[in-house]
Amino acid sequence: MDNGKCTAFKYGFGRSKKRNKVKLTRRRRILRWTGILLALFWMILIFRFSAENGQQSGALSDSVLQTAVDLFDRITGQDLNGAMTPKLTQILGFCVRKAAHMTVYCMLGISVMLTMFTFPPAIWKKAGLTLLICAAYAGSDEFHQSFVAGRGPSLQDVCIDSLGAAAGILIALLAYCVFDTVRRKT
């Protein structure tokens, strides 16, 4: 399928039509180490956020929410602060926390997938393994939270984290297909 379309789904990333062994080129080594270092960065960041007690975590979420409300006020010229009821603040705070979960795991999914691009298995195996790694880390993260004051494990958070990782995997796949298509046309 060399007609300018992404061939990654047909042959797998980093593999030729003949399915010969992948030579670890300098570019591939750089990509692998970049992915590993980024994944470690996001894992450490997630661990540090999970180590915060309930009060610290809530204060961070409230701070992010207040910054977003202030930014909205500045951009629109409206006073959203005046319309913030305790119930609305609670709902938006919940949304901020869950969006943060999805965002960090999306970045973790992208980072792990970046590393996986440098290995020879077929693309669906890479995506599945990446999702498994991220979901396992999400589970271990929730287990870690069971030892932190004011925090506790949540199966809902593991599902949200895994959904964020799946989104990151899809973003990485789409980016690769765009890159692969452009590269083949030049």
**Residue 21: DSSP 8-state:** P
Tell me if 119 sits within 8 A of 126, measured CB to CB. yes
Q: Is there a domain that residue 2 lies in? A: no
pLDDT of residue 114: 95
pLDDT of residue 88: 84
Q: Is there a domain that residue 174 lies in? A: yes
Tell me if 130 sits within 8 A of 112, measured CB to CB. yes
Q: Is there a domain that residue 20 lies in? A: no
Q: Is there a domain that residue 3 lies in? A: no
Q: Is there a domain that residue 23 lies in? A: no
Reported as a single tens digit per residue, the pLDDT across 50-70 is 888 878 877 888 888 888 888
Reported as a single tens digit per residue, the pLDDT across 156-182 is 999 999 999 999 999 999 998 898 888
Q: Is there a domain that residue 26 lies in? A: no
- Structural domain for 159, as ranges: 8-13+33-185
Reported as a single tens digit per residue, the pLDDT across 97-152 is 899 999 999 999 999 999 999 988 788 899 999 999 999 999 999 999 989 888 88
Structurally, the chain folds into a number of domains equal to 1
Q: Is there a domain that residue 130 lies in? A: yes
Say yes or no to pLDDT of 80 above 80: no
